[in-house]
Amino acid sequence: MSSAEATAGTQRGELSDWFRERISHAVSEFTAATALVVLFIALTFASPYFLTADNLFNIGAQTAVIAIIATAQTMVIITKGIDLSVGSVAALAGVLGAMVVRDLGFSLWAATAVAIGVGALAGLLNGLLVTVARIPPFIATLGTMSVGRGLVFIITGAVGVYGLPRSFQLLGNGQILGIPFAVVITVLVAVGVAFLLSQTRFGQYTYAMGSNLEAARRSGIRVGRHLTGVYVLAGVLVGLGGMIAASRVNSGQPNYGISLELDVIAAAVIGGASLFGGQGRIVGTIIGAFLIALVRNGAVLLDISIHYQQVIVGVIIWAAVYFDQYRRRRLESRG
């Protein structure tokens, strides 16, 4: 076989792999979108309150927080990692953002910068624990989750932060031309991160590390620095999401975000992100976030206990991960 024929064969193989991966993403996203539409229609008939303007606004605001933090989780999952600290960090960011407004007279935007900074620092800590201390992401972020939650309770004395001005509600309850401000922020975040992952070297490196970390290192990627950067950017989004959540209820709640990591992991995996790394797209994550938000909203409208909601989310995670494994086996067998 000539070198030209070998090169052509390699190119055909790479094109085939690329095509199979695109089909895999499309199938995941189509399946999630179909489930979303079916659930939306079912809730329309199940509850007379579902299609009210107030409820749809609440769904949009609720989806925004889940979607922004799930976008952060997706980036980490693509690197073959996991971030269990998102709920605690979001609570810490929201509480501190609320406190600087109430106690120091900060504006909403300055407080948002504080919340984002808190998230960035937590992300930096996670990144250094994973890359420098060589602690597995699961354990590293589990520790950060515990530390973050403990700090929230210590700072607040386990009491919510109240007495905030009405302007504090802008992020969570404000509107632009009738569209929730939180939804506008979510769209901007989703478009920005999707562009970053699909059209920049940052995205190429992120997928490369998730697919094969050692190969990425040998190709010249500064794995430690880049992986830390992914965790920092994820922390920035978690801090922003925590601030929006605090703004929605016009207070800083130390209990916020308990089990939030389950919702955002479910949203990412439902949308096609693989817990084995190297796969995931933001458009799928947004669909998954809407699906999880509808499940939560529908459960409230139908007066389903929070405990049963946890069972439902757990089953969704099982189903999504099983589907991911099934999809990978099919792709590998066809490869």
Which tens digits make up the pLDDT trace of 252-290? 999 999 989 999 999 999 888 888 888 889 999 999 999
Quick one: which H or E segment has residue 294?
helix 282-301
Domain boundaries, the chain: 33-325
Quick one: which H or E segment has residue 272?
none
Give 51's DSSP letter.
Answer: T
Beta bridge partners of 179: 176
Q: Which residue do the tokens 């960035």 mark?
A: 120
- The set of residues, in sequence order, having a beta carbon less than 8 Å from that of 279 and lying 6+ positions away, is 21, 24, 25, 78, 207, 210, 272, 273
The per-residue pLDDT for 86 is 96
The per-residue pLDDT for 238 is 97
Residues 106-133 pLDDT 10s:
999 999 999 999 999 999 999 999 999 9
The per-residue pLDDT for 99 is 96
The per-residue pLDDT for 261 is 93
CA distances from 287 to 212, 222, 243, 282, 295 (A): 27, 32, 22, 9, 13
Q: Which amino acid is at 155?
A: I
Alpha carbons 161 and 190: distance in angstroms, whole number? 30
The per-residue pLDDT for 316 is 84
The per-residue pLDDT for 213 is 87
Give 175's DSSP letter.
Answer: E
Q: Which amino acid is at 172?
A: G
Give 168's DSSP letter.
Answer: G
Coil, strand or helix: which one is 242? Answer: helix
Where b means 16+ CB within 10 Å and e means fewer, 80-107 reads: bbbbbbbbbbbbbbbbbbbbbbbeeebe
* Weakly modelled stretches of the chain, pLDDT under 70: 1-25, 328, 331-335
Coil, strand or helix: which one is 83? Answer: coil
Structure tokens given for 277: 């790394």
The per-residue pLDDT for 260 is 92
Beta bridge partners of 180: 175
Tell me which CATH code domain 33-325 carries. Answer: 1.10.3470
